[in-house]
């Protein structure tokens, strides 16, 4: 339990750095010599799970955001890659198909429920990550009729009338 909590804090400590664009190979990347993560199948499973958690999230570039994040944070990449490998192994064993290509709604729900109970740390950390990336996107703000964060100093005190700038007089 403590490792999951610590891991969660490590995962979310550098979320803003994900917006930097990196050249990530489509067939994955090495986290250490000889250990490659996030191959094409893993990326498809990642996007499918993200879409199951927040339908339509791919429209805001979720795959790129997640891939940039894991590329920058190699330790987290290994953790999440193992979780996606687990989802795919369960899907192939039970339904003879990779998770990303499952068409049966019941099969997808059963796998998600199983993983959310048996691999809680992975599932809830990934879900939190997807939610953070989705709701931090300005395109989503517009859908929610939110104009963005307040000015750097916070909200104005509307109890007092605004003061004119002395320089402009």
Residue 150 or 67, more confident: 67
Boundaries of domain holding 54: 2-168
pLDDT, tens digit, for every residue of 11-22?
444 444 445 556
What is the mean predicted confidence (pLDDT) over 103-109?
Answer: 97
Please state, in angstroms and rounded to a whole number, the distance separating the CA atoms of residues 116 and 124. 7
Provide the domain count of the chain: 1
pLDDT of residue 11: 45
Task: Label residue 75 by pLDDT band (50, 70, 90).
Answer: confident
d(CA 140, CA 125): 21
**Position with higher pLDDT, 97 vs 154:** 97
Could you give the C-alpha distances from 103 to 44, 52, 136, in angstroms and in order? 14, 12, 30
34 burial level (CB within 10 Å; 0-12, 13-18, 19+): exposed
pLDDT computed for residue 123 by the predictor: 97
H or E stretch at 37: strand 35-37
Residue range 115-126: average pLDDT?
A: 96
31 three-state secondary structure: strand
Residue of 141 and 7 predicted with greater confidence: 141
Does position 86 have pLDDT exceeding 90, yes or no? yes
């Amino acid at each position: 339990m403590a490792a999951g909590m610590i891991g969660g804090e490590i995962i979310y400590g550098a979320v803003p750095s994900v917006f930097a664009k990196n050249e990530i190979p489509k067939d994955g990347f090495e986290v250490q010599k000889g250990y490659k993560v996030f191959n094409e199948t893993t990326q498809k499973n990642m996007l499918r799970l993200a879409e199951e958690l927040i339908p339509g999230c791919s429209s805001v570039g979720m795959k790129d955001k997640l891939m940039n994040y894991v590329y920058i944070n190699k330790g987290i990449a290994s953790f999440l890659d193992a979780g996606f490998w687990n989802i795919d192994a369960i899907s192939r064993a039970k339904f003879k198909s990779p998770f990303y290509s499952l068409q049966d709604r019941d099969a997808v729900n059963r796998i998600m429920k199983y993983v959310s109970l048996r691999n809680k740390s992975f599932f809830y950390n990934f879900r939190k990550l997807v939610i953070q990336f989705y709701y931090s996107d300005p395109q989503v703000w517009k859908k929610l009729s939110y104009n963005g964060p307040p000015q750097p100093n916070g909200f104005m005190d509307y109890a007092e009338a605004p003061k004119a700038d002395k320089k402009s007089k």
